[in-house]
Amino acid sequence: MQLVRRSASDNAEAAHRAAETTSAAQADIVLDVRHVSVEYASASSAVRAVDDVSFALARGQILGLAGESGSGKTTLANAIARLLRPPARVVQGEVLYSPRPEKAAGTREATTAPVDVLALTPDELRAFRWRRLSMVFQSAMNSLNPVLDIGAQIDDVLQAHAPSMSRKSRQERAVELLQLVGIAPDRLHSFPHELSGGMRQRAAIAIALALDPELIIMDEPTTALDVVVQREILAEITDLRDRLGFSVIFITHDLSLLLEIADRVAIMYAGRIVESATSAELHAQPRHPYTYGLLHSFPKVPGQRITLTGIPGSPPDLRALPSGCAFHPRCAFAFDVCRSASPELLPSACGTRSVACHLYDDPDSASSPVIDLSNPKPRDVPSEASAGTAPTGDPQ
């Protein structure tokens, strides 16, 4: 196979950013994540859990982050929200946040110019959290305070971040928030243990919405819930987004579920984004063999039946990543160059999607891919590890 290698030149960078933003209101980007890398330090070495990740999030957009456990999703989310604690450290990158004009008006900065979240002072960070960005975690039982009722927890956030609000206004706002997420107001004085799992997660979303943030990061918010409640919460999130206009970074290992809720999806593997596209594009034709594997790892609730094939092997140990493409020991399409050169995330000619895979190094195939991922045909010598490895079918 003849390879036409494109270097990480400024041109490729510009094209990549264009691909990230064309599909969703180019001018209206709320978060621009640029070249973020995060390491966990240990006594002997440092493990790079997030490696040179860039993406742009448009206002009102739901961006899904998917990947197996250990691919770096939570580390990336915590880096964006400035929640990382040692031994984790952001070693490079910027997280540029652009407030919408009405949010900026009347604030100290009173500007819509982007600010680098990673450079905020502790005081600026306190003002940024909840008002601009809030988070919903996997287990509401862990993030909610077990000894305070839901009303008191909403009140705490309002009191701390909107000190000018009167007690009466805070109470009214608490009732309004519960109604927004479908909880009856008479639950205001319920404690977390008195609510079902779904209601606790709704309460966590209500608290996250308290100060009308522009961006909410949801890290596996429905993973602990049964499938029916999971879908109710997903419908609630999209409905709230439509009504309130916030943006969401929605993290899950379940790609099929993500395609139902997200406008765009970025797939992470070993700390890197390996494919990024609209949900419709990924659903119609995943390009990265790993994306294909993820899509064939979970049953779809609605839609046509698919054969679940899973992904052979397990995610790599970040302390000893395979050479070249980190996915090559598990990839049925691996060929020589995959074992020596790491593929760059490059945009396709259509401008809305990017993929990091040597199968698309040839610009012609990038513009009109004809690779049938259901039918691996090794190009050179098959990868030793991928040959004969049984699919696990369990991407967690």
Ligand X SMILES: Nc1ncnc2c1ncn2[C@@H]1O[C@H](COP(=O)(O)OP(=O)(O)O)[C@@H](O)[C@H]1O
- In sequence order, what are the beta bridge partners of 48? 39
* Of the candidate residues 24, 30, 51, 70, the single one contacting ligand X (CB under 6 A): 70
Phi, psi of 101 (to 5 degrees): -50, -45
**Which of 133, 131, 136 minimizes the C-alpha distance to 218?**
136
Under 8 Å between Cβ of 346 and 6: yes
Which one of the spans 69-77, 114-122, 124-132, 289-297 is the region binding ligand X (CB under 6 A)? 69-77
The amino acid at residue 194 is E
Nearest residue (CB) to Mg ion, 74 versus 153: 74
Stated as kind and residue range, the H or E segment containing 127 is helix 122-128
For Mg ion, the nearest residue by Cβ is 74
* Of the candidate residues 74, 134, 201, 256, the single one contacting Mg ion (CB under 5 A): 74
**Cα–Cα distance measured from residue 274 to residue 387, given in angstroms and rounded to the nearest whole number:** 22
Q: Does 72 bind ligand X (CB under 6 A)?
A: yes
Q: Does 331 bind ligand SF4 (CB under 6 A)?
A: yes
* Of the candidate residues 23, 37, 54, 74, the single one contacting ligand X (CB under 6 A): 74
3-state secondary structure of 73: helix
Q: Does 21 bind ligand X (CB under 6 A)?
A: no
* Residues in 365-394 at the binding interface with Mg ion, rule: CB under 5 A: none
Contact partner, 67, from ligand X, ligand SF4, Mg ion, none, Cβ < 5-8 Å per class: ligand X
**Residue 396 to residues 28, 66, 156, 351, 388, Cα–Cα distance (Å):** 35, 11, 36, 31, 21
Under 8 Å between Cβ of 227 and 213: no
- Report residue 79 as tokens: 């880096």
**Which of 68, 107, 75 minimizes the C-alpha distance to 89?**
75
* Residues in 195-224 at the binding interface with ligand X, rule: CB under 6 A: none
**Which of 7, 63, 76, 6 minimizes the C-alpha distance to 35?**
76
**Cα–Cα distance measured from residue 333 to residue 354, given in angstroms and rounded to the nearest whole number:** 18
Which one of the spans 26-34, 58-66, 131-139, 327-335 is the region binding ligand SF4 (CB under 6 A)? 327-335
Query: Contact letters (x/-) for ligand SF4, 354-383, by CB under 6 A?
Result: ---xxx------------------------
Residue 288 CB, nearest distance to ligand SF4 (Å)? Answer: 6
Which one of the spans 118-126, 186-194, 215-223, 330-338 is the region binding ligand SF4 (CB under 6 A)? 330-338
Residue 64 CB, nearest distance to ligand X (Å)? Answer: 13
Contact partner, 49, from Mg ion, ligand X, ligand SF4, none, Cβ < 5-8 Å per class: ligand X
Q: Does 272 bind ligand X (CB under 6 A)?
A: no
Residue 377 CB, nearest distance to ligand SF4 (Å)? Answer: 11
Q: Does 252 bind Mg ion (CB under 5 A)?
A: no
- In sequence order, what are the beta bridge partners of 129? 133
Which one of the spans 59-67, 73-81, 357-365, 378-386 is the region binding Mg ion (CB under 5 A)? 73-81
In this structure, what is the dihedral angle of CA atoms 29, 246, 38, 54, given to the nearest 10 degrees?
Answer: -30
**Cα–Cα distance measured from residue 67 to residue 311, given in angstroms and rounded to the nearest whole number:** 12
Q: Does 73 bind ligand X (CB under 6 A)?
A: yes
- Residue where the block lists tokens 């049925």: 332
Contact partner, 289, from ligand SF4, ligand X, Mg ion, none, Cβ < 5-8 Å per class: ligand SF4
Determine how β-strand 88-97 pairs with β-strand 115-116: antiparallel
Residue 272 CB, nearest distance to ligand X (Å)? Answer: 12
* Of the candidate residues 15, 40, 234, 258, the single one contacting ligand X (CB under 6 A): 40
**Cα–Cα distance measured from residue 312 to residue 370, given in angstroms and rounded to the nearest whole number:** 23
Task: List contacts with ligand X (CB under 6 A).
Answer: 40, 47, 49, 67, 69-75, 87, 318
Task: List contacts with Mg ion (CB under 5 A).
Answer: 74
